[in-house]
Structure 1
Amino acid sequence: MSHQIKFIMVGGFLGAGKTTTLGRLAKHYTNQGLNVGVVTNDQAADLVDTNSLRSQGLNVGEVAGACFCCHFNSLMDTIGELGSQQRPDVILAEPVGSCTDLVATVIQPIKQLYDADFKIQPYAVLMKPSHGLKILKNEQGSGFSPKAAYILKKQLEEADLILINRIDELSEEAVEELTTLVNEQFPGTPVLRTSALTGAGFEGLVEFLEQEGDFGGKILDIDYDIYAEGEAELGWLNSSVHVSAETEFSLDQLLLDVISQLQTSFREQGVETAHLKVIGLWEGFFGVSNLVSNDSEPKLSLASDCTVKEVDLIVNARVACDPDALTEQVMKVLEQCAGALNAKLEFNQTQSFRPGRPVPTHRYATPK
């Protein structure tokens, strides 16, 4: 048999930690001397994840405009483009965080249409503690309706491996409670505890992904009406702006200020944050800040440790509110942050919308 590409997809809800996990996996495989390609995915262009991973020196392609399942041919074309210079040994794929049913619409089509070219590794799904705990406990006030919570549960249901991520942010009691809930609600699915940020539990993840076996076979019984309505509750915004000032300012502080002020704004409006990311890029420098829920602390996930007079910012916001209201809040905060620096603000592009109904290119109801 000819050389097969290892296909590793890492799923999970918005803000679960997929990008950080894929970055760590990519570094692991490149350190082994393997050729690694990464494919990111979003409903719109200007994706923070793509820019962040490319800034780390990785070979990254992006599928924009719809999820992998609805743009399956674009996914395969992008993988082909990543291999135009050298055939990858490993493809790491990061699907949209509001998508599910990926076994039937992505993994099975690859198995059944491209079996000779790819070797499917275990499908790992990251558990997002900040919203997942409330959703699995069926608590009121998770920030999302039952239809949006349905997506998170379905993501976990189709996993070969569930990763309880961000354990560095949790108490031992919270980790034990989450582990118990996951084991009770998804019996038989292996569970690992990890921190993509610190690397805790990472060796166990790598070991699991190297297993031989028939993976990606859990076909969901899923209601696409509930799925579509749950996804459409989220307002989606991608915006790129240029900030320029006469005096130098801290890029990292600007990133944190934008995130913190948006968190305050969303709290005041009573709308829940699914995920919020901001990246600042300028002449080889970059930094990233993010927020994964209204109750979480804004984080500088990648520090630039630099001062600049100008910078390109990309904001990705996934918030349970009307897209027009989301745009208004983001623009207002960006203008306030630029004003505090006596800086000029130039908007390059802003896209805001609600995701449309998912219509998969393929859906295989019987696993190979």
Structure 2
Amino acid sequence: MPTRSPPRGVRSARAGQGRTAPMSDTNRPALVLLGGFLGSGKTTLMMRIGEELSSRGIATAVITNDQGENLVDTAHARERGLAAAEIPGGCFCCKFGDFVTHLSEIRRTVAPRVILAEPVGSCTDLTATVLTPLSLYHSGLARLAAYIVLADGPRLIGEYRRMNLGAPVTPREVLIAHQICDARRLVVTKTDLLTPEEVADAVGFLRGLSPDAQIVTCSAVSGEGIEPLIEWVTTDDEIELSDSPDLDYDVYAAAEAEMGWYNGRATITAPAGLRIDDATTDLLLGLKAEFGANLIHGKVLFVCEYGSLKAGVVDGRIGIDSGLSSTNPVTEAGLTVNVRAAAAPREIDATVGRLIDELCDRVGASVSDYMHRAIVPGRPVPQHRIRRNDGST
């Protein structure tokens, strides 16, 4: 690929794809990145924003991203009627060429006014590795409308307070703190699970970590606080890219390597009938019991003749987003499971497989077309890393 020189004072870690010719703002869709750690509510909020925009006549598409394949998020978005593209096998920064290709393809085939892009939950440094390269080399593809990082409200007043995020030491502390400081727009999510006093506490804690950020609070479940996010997403302005915080990539890689990732899908056939809501709860309770505090995030999606049901478990809390038109038993359903846990991939793979088998044994069902893979994410190697503050890479 051809090597290009960025503007003076800005250096790229690696040359990437050819430039995209600029377009007028009337033709460029607004691109919004929704970042945040695993389980922070990115997908649920993305669906809520996408559906709200669509209800207002604003064509919207989404791009999902993961270290593996068979994503709950992509299937869920499509079931909810949103145009969705998927970038598997690495984060946006490491698969930047694919990200550019998907942006171009979505713009050509869907012509959305807004594109919501959800990076991998363990990904950070997006200002330097995604937004700045897009601005420099592919500004014609989309207008950079917002970079928003979500922080789980209950975690902010619980687990995160027990961490040393103000002066991070452990790899996971470094990762989470960098995610928060990399963006200038932050969202405290899941406020429906907090009291007003706890919401204020969460905002104050976040403000201490990022004093200059704009902070809003919202619940994707109740819809409270969604309107300010809609304003961020639909603005005609383009964000001014900020300086990228320092990041030790050895520590970043160690944080990712602490987690095992499992993605799988299968077809469940149940001649005697399968109740989707009960099956979902059984699987999530099984994940919770097996992994305990080591379960970072678990997701389950069932798709059947009555629609779809997506559910997740974070910090022992189960949340369900049902699109089922009926709770009657079904004889066949598609199942997708994603698990992120502080455990060996082989252990996660075996555990999920056993939980699915046990579910089928209880209801007299069988499993077919089972595709599954468990991995430890590789070291992040971005195609670009461009820092504006000191020109370093």
Same fold (TM over 0.5): yes
Write the distance in 1 (CA, Å) between the matches of 2:352 and 2:379.
25
Tell me the amino acid that sits aligned with residue 117 of structure 1.
L
1:250 and 2:275 are equivalent in the alignment: yes
1:219 and 2:241 are equivalent in the alignment: no
Q: 1:331 aligns with which of 353, 359, 368?
A: 353
Write the distance in 2 (CA, Å) between the matches of 1:54 and 1:322.
31
Structure 1 residues 81-100: aligned runs within 5 Å: 81-100=105-124
Cα displacement string for residues 198-223 of structure 1 (whole angstroms, at most 9, x for unaligned residues)? 11100121223344353342412111
Cα displacement string for residues 239-260 of structure 1 (whole angstroms, at most 9, x for unaligned residues)? 1122112212211111111111
Write the distance in 1 (CA, Å) between the matches of 2:111 and 2:224.
31
> How many residues of Structure 1 are paired with residues of Structure 2 in the alignment?
360
Which position in structure 2 is the counterpart of 1:263? 288
Write the distance in 1 (CA, Å) between the matches of 2:255 and 2:74.
25
Question: Which runs of no fewer than 5 residues in structure 1 stay unpaired?
Answer: none
Residue aligned with 1:356, SS? coil
Which position in structure 1 is the counterpart of 2:314? 292
Structure 1 residues 12-51: aligned runs within 5 Å: 12-51=36-75
Write the distance in 2 (CA, Å) between the matches of 1:358 and 1:83.
28
Q: Is the 8 A contact 2:66 2:87 kept in 1?
A: yes
Which position in structure 2 is the counterpart of 1:342? 364
Q: Is the 8 A contact 1:338 1:345 kept in 2?
A: yes
1:196 and 2:220 are equivalent in the alignment: yes
Residue aligned with 2:199, SS? helix
Residue aligned with 1:26, SS? helix
**Residues 209-218 or 103-112, more deviating:** 209-218
Residue aligned with 1:121, SS? strand
Q: Is the 8 A contact 2:182 2:244 kept in 1?
A: yes
Identical aligned pairs, as a percentage? 30
TM-score, normalised to structure 1's length? 0.92
Write the distance in 1 (CA, Å) between the matches of 2:64 and 2:290.
29
Q: 2:97 aligns with which of 66, 73, 78?
A: 73
Q: 2:322 aligns with which of 284, 302, 310?
A: 302
Which position in structure 1 is the counterpart of 2:203? 179
Cα displacement string for residues 64-101 of structure 1 (whole angstroms, at most 9, x for unaligned residues)? 11000000010111122223334322111000001000
Which position in structure 1 is the counterpart of 2:301? 279
Q: Is the 8 A contact 2:287 2:295 kept in 1?
A: no
Q: Is the 8 A contact 1:244 1:343 kept in 2?
A: yes
**Deviation, structure 1 residue 179:** 1.1
Write the distance in 2 (CA, Å) between the matches of 1:179 and 1:197.
19
Tell me the amino acid that sits aligned with residue 97 of structure 2.
N
Q: 2:174 aligns with which of 150, 174, 182?
A: 150
Write the distance in 2 (CA, Å) between the matches of 1:130 and 1:337.
30
Cα displacement string for residues 152-179 of structure 1 (whole angstroms, at most 9, x for unaligned residues)? 1111101121100000011223212211
Residue aligned with 1:123, SS? strand
**Deviation, structure 1 residue 341:** 0.5
Q: 1:352 aligns with which of 353, 356, 374?
A: 374
Write the distance in 1 (CA, Å) between the matches of 2:159 and 2:182.
17
Write the distance in 2 (CA, Å) between the matches of 1:139 and 1:8.
29
**Residues 303-312 or 89-98, more deviating:** 303-312
**Deviation, structure 1 residue 357:** 0.3
Write the distance in 2 (CA, Å) between the matches of 1:275 and 1:93.
19
**Deviation, structure 1 residue 45:** 1.0
Write the distance in 1 (CA, Å) between the matches of 2:110 and 2:82.
14
Q: Is the 8 A contact 1:275 1:291 kept in 2?
A: yes
Residue aligned with 1:122, SS? strand
Residue aligned with 2:30, SS? strand
Write the distance in 2 (CA, Å) between the matches of 1:214 and 1:199.
25
